[in-house]
Each structure stands twice: as structure tokens, then as C-alpha cells.
Chains A and B, each alone.
Chain A
Amino acid sequence: MQLTVEFSGGAELLFGNVKQHRVTLPDRGDGDSVWTMEGLLPWLRDNLLKERPELFMQGDTVRPGILVLVNDADWELLGQLSYKLQPDDTVVFISTLHGG
């Protein structure tokens, strides 16, 4: 499944200072091809993140102060971690933390 992932507000500094990433999520081995945000976050951390994972994630969700938008809509409206990603979704992470 292909997705566009964007980082801004300073979050891009953790991802090699690249704002936009086109990512292809691998199929999960057990025939279950559904990806949720809960699965995406650790995947991004393990595959895309360049440094300081603690500045991106806290527990199993994003660090407080980082906004998440899926197709421009607040993920809080979409069920946050339980949202099921669709092909070609755009997921945006915006850091509102002072100093990025």
C-alpha cells in the first residue's frame, strides 16, 4: 500500500530534513493487508526516522504536541490509532513544539 507522509513544523528534522516521503507499506505476512495508524507509527519510527525516536513517539502514540492529519482531517476525528489507512492516503505530522 502506498502512502504519502509529510512532516512539518520541525518534525522533518527528525526525518533527514525531508518534508515529503512517498512510502510503500509492505503486506503483512498473515494475509492481513490492513494498516492502522497504530501500525504505521512504529513502522515510520523503524524505517524512516533518522534520529531521536523519543522526540517522535511516546508510548505507542505520537509525542504530545505533534499534530496528525490524515487527508487534511484531524486524526482525532478519525479514531486516532484505530484509523484504517486507505491506499494513497496523505498523513501529515506537524510539530507544534517550540523550536521544532
Chain B
Amino acid sequence: MCSIEEGDLADLRAREEAQHLKAQALSDTGPTLCQKCRSAPAVLLLRVNDIYCRDCFVAAFTHKFRSTLGKSRLLRPDEPALVAFSGGVASSVLARLVSDGASQTDSKRLRLRPGLLMVDESAVVPEQDVKEVERLAGTYRVPVYRAKLEAVMGDSGAPVVERVNCKLKEESTGDDGGTESSQAPPEAASCDSVSSEAAVLPDEARLAELRAQLQQLWSAAGSGTAREQLLERLRSELLARAALQLGIRLLLLADTETRLAVSLLSGLAGGRGAHAHQQTALADRRHGERLLVLRPLRELSSKQVALFAHHCRVQYVPGVGPDTMAPASASIGRATEEFVLGLQASFPATVSTVYRTGTKLSAVGAMTEDCALCRLPLDTSGGAASALQATRFSQMVSSSGPDRFQYDQHSADTAAGHSRATVLPPAAGNGSCGTDTPRCVESGGACCGGGGERCGSAQTVSRKPSREELLERLCYGCQLVVKDMKEVDNIPSFVTEEVAVRTRRENMRKEIQDFLIEDS
């Protein structure tokens, strides 16, 4: 039914059949019939050979979504789940599928208790119509939560999300309490976790401060690509933190196949090859056991999603972002989208081929540390003879020019970096040349003496890591984002905290190095 590998022969035959059907459709005077039920007139053409009527399409679409979720065998019965809701077409369709599925009464009921989580990005995307998104979220008769993007700049333990009271929600409890009462809101299940109502959001003044910090960070980002990437990472961190705060283990993202194919290719172009697998996988486990990020629309193309929204009258607001109405040259992401869709127009298998290839990729070698910004494995441990070192070397040569460049200097640096990497296993990711930056001697020494990584949080705040220290803890893709920044003073504190902790740990390990017994 949903087999991935199909023989070339079958493909060829299907294509011939499709050509034939298409020809028939054009030559006949009457309407073409749906290929599936053969009774209703066909209204849409998906891929090469699927000609469907509206009802068969909606059924097939829903089935695909359910089977993607079901195949994963990752769901526990009646578990609460959060849908990341932007009000855009894909997340509106996902919200509709999940809420409709969960409110069915028969055996086909989707055994999830959904809630919607919307992110208020108005701090950096002033065009976003937050009120409208909120109104749309309210139409699904499930609990709605809202998180402001600027909250992600605050301390990592601080609450970021609040419940939104939607008018429609109240009306619905009055109208048909029957369907509503069978749906306990998600937080009722998470009795062992912190209740969302108990958590107090940062006050207005603090939020305004964070908002200003975010805006400064935003304007410091050097290019359209850097902004796009930064927004994606901050949003992903915020969604994760919100879900953790609410004690909900499942987070559903509405990434379509098309979107994933585009972000896979733009990710490769942006130096994130090592993460290609996590970025396209159904289940993203970067946050460990406490949070499972799922992409249940990943086998559906954006065309299917848009057609579903059209035929099922799903309301949505066009997802405005920093790249709205931007030309293809605005960012790598935009250019890649243009490229993929352009190819797709003449070769209808483009998107699925790219996407399926992405799912087969995986990173080689164990990566022990995670990137402080995107939380994906740190891919900067290539060793002395890696492509990364080659890039750095050529960067160093180009930036220093023929006169100032000294070969001995470079080889000494890499040798030092390399030997350090072999001596210190946890720091194995840092074979970078010239990272001999001053450590936090006084504060670092004092707090590392305390023995734990959380000992000196006050000192962490007091001292921001330098650009070099920061870059050392980031994966290559994130390094590119940060490198483009004019200044790094406004890097969110969850990143700087992480960097400080890692730096302290490394220093401590260095101090006690002689006493450690290592497996050889």
C-alpha cells in the first residue's frame, strides 16, 4: 500500500498509464472519472498517475497522515500532543486532521489529546497577524497555548508559554458539551508535571527587555539566510521548551514533503549535512526521551496539503515571514525552493526523490556533544585531515594574505588542536586552529571548584562567552549563522549558559586530567 521501493518497470508502466489517462482526459468531452472509485468526476491530479475525485482524495490524504503516525509506533494511547500552529496552510491542515481524528467517536478515533501551540513572532515578523492566528486556533475546540518568541531569550528554566482563552472555546462548551467533555485537556494528564497555570510568565517589563534583545540579535544577523536559520532555531527551541513546560511529550510539526526536500537541500548548502537525517526523519529525538518531535505530514506534498485545505475549506492565513514576497536571491532557502519547485514542474518525482534520499542519509561516526544552539550533534570533530580543517585552512590563508601567512604557525596550531582533541575526549569536537582563547580563570576557577556544572549560574550571567568560545560549541551550520553576526552580545542565554557549562567542565577536566584513568 505504501511501499517505498517500486521497481523501475512498475514506474515505467505507471507513467505510460498516466500518459494514457491524461490523453484520455483531454480528448474526452465528458469529465474524467476518478481512478479509484470510477464513479465521481476527477478533480485533481497528484504525482504522475493519481487522478482522484474529491472524496477519494480526502480519504487517501487522511489515510496517509494516519498511516504515517501509525507506522511510527511511537504513540502511547490517549497521550496529550501539541501541534505547532502558525496559522499557515500546513499547520492548519494538521490541526484539522488531528482535532477531527481525535473527536471521532468510533474505533477509528485518533488516540491523541491535541492542543495547539502558537508562536507569536511579531517581535521579528511584524507582518504576522497574531490576532487572526489566535482566532483560527480557537476554531478547533482544543486547548490553545501561546508562546512569544522573545521568551526564548530568557533563562532556560523560565516559563515561556501560557494558555489562551478563546471565545469560541467557551461557546463550544455551552453548545455541545458532549464532545468536549470526552476530550480532557492535555494538562489534566500531566498531573505529575508542572501545571501550566501555576507557571508565571515573565512580566511585561522583562518581556519588553527580551524583545529588544531579540530585535538586536535579529538586526545583527548578517544576511537573509542567517535570519531565516536563526528564526528556525529559536522557534524550534521555544516549541521544545514550551512542550517541556507543559509536560507534553509529543510535539507535532507540519513539515510537508516539499518543505523537507527544500530544507534538506538548503541545509546541505548551509553546512548542515551531518544533520540531514534528523531534519527529515519522522521522529526528531534531539531533545532526548522527554520530548518527541514528529512530522506526520512528511509524506504529503505541499500541493496535496493546499488542495486538502481548499476542498475541505480549511481556513488559514498565508504564512507571512521575513521571506514573504522576497525574490529568490533573498536567502539560500528561498533560492532552493525556487530550484526544487522549478524542477518539480517538469519532473514530478523531484520532491519525493530528494526527500526519500534524505531519509536514507545518516552521519558517520559517533558525535558525543550537541550543538549549543540547535541541539543537534556537534559535527566539528572531523580530525586533522577533514574537509572542515581544509575549509578553515583556506579561510585562514585567504584572510591573512600571502605576506602574513606562516606555514609553521598553522601546522603548530593544528597539531596543538589535534593533540588536545586526543587527550580530552569530551572536547574532541574542537580541533580548530587558533582557539587558544583566555579562559575564565577567576570565575571559572571559583565555580568549577564547587564541583557541579550548575554551581555558578550567577557568574555565568555576569560573563558572556567570547565569539571564539561560542563558535567552539556550535555545529558547523550554526557557526555560519553566528559568524555572519556583527556582534554576539545578544546571543540568547540558553546558548551562553550551555557554552559556559561546557567550558567549565572542560577546564575542570583539564585540571584533574592527571588523575583520570582512561580506557586506552
Contact = CB atoms under 8 A, between A and B. Distances in A.
B449 to A, nearest CB: 50
Contact of B320 (A52, A76, A94, A99): A99
A73 interface: yes
A75 to B, nearest CB: 9
Contacts of A72: 43, 54, 310-311
Contact of B51 (A13, A77, A97, A98): A77
Contacts of A67: 303, 306-307
A57 B35 CA distance: 31
Nearest to B32: A77
Interface string B22-65: 10011000001000000001111100000100100000000000
Contacts of B22: 76-77
B490 interface: no
Contact of B345 (A54, A64, A69, A94): A64
Contact of A77 (B45, B259, B307): B45
A60 to B, nearest CB: 13
Contact of A96 (B26, B303, B326, B338): B303
B214 to A, nearest CB: 20
A39 interface: no
Contacts of B262: 98
A98 B344 CA distance: 15
Interface in A32-67: 52, 54-55, 64-65, 67
Contacts of B341: 64-65, 97
Nearest to A92: B310
B155 to A, nearest CB: 31
Contacts of A97: 337, 341
A34 B386 CA distance: 64
Contact of B89 (A9, A64, A65, A74): A9
B42 A73 contact: yes
A77 B324 contact: no
Contacts of A10: 318-320, 324
B325 interface: yes
B344 A64 contact: yes
Contacts of A77: 22, 25, 32, 42-45, 51
A100 B310 contact: no
Contact of B310 (A8, A65, A98): A8
A55 B325 contact: yes
A94 B42 contact: no
A59 B344 CA distance: 16
Contacts of A52: 325
A9 B26 contact: no
Given A79-B26, A100-B319, A100-B325, A73 B43 contact: yes
Given A10-B318, A64-B341, A99-B323, A76 B45 contact: yes
A71 to B, nearest CB: 9
Contacts of A73: 41-44
Given A72-B54, A77-B51, A94 B323 contact: no
A100 B90 CA distance: 12
Contacts of A96: 89, 258, 302-303, 305-306
B324 A99 contact: yes
Contacts of B425: none
B333 interface: yes
Nearest to B43: A73
23 contacts: A10-B324, A52-B325, A65-B302, A65-B337, A67-B306, A72-B43, A72-B310, A73-B41, A74-B43, A74-B307, A77-B32, A77-B43, A77-B44, A77-B51, A94-B306, A94-B307, A94-B310, A96-B302, A96-B306, A97-B341, A98-B333, A99-B334, A100-B320
Interface of A: 8-10, 12-14, 52, 54-55, 64-65, 67, 69, 72-74, 76-79, 92, 94-100
Given A10-B319, A64-B344, A94-B307, 13 more contacts: A9-B306, A10-B320, A13-B325, A64-B342, A67-B303, A72-B311, A77-B44, A77-B45, A96-B302, A96-B305, A97-B337, A99-B334, A100-B318
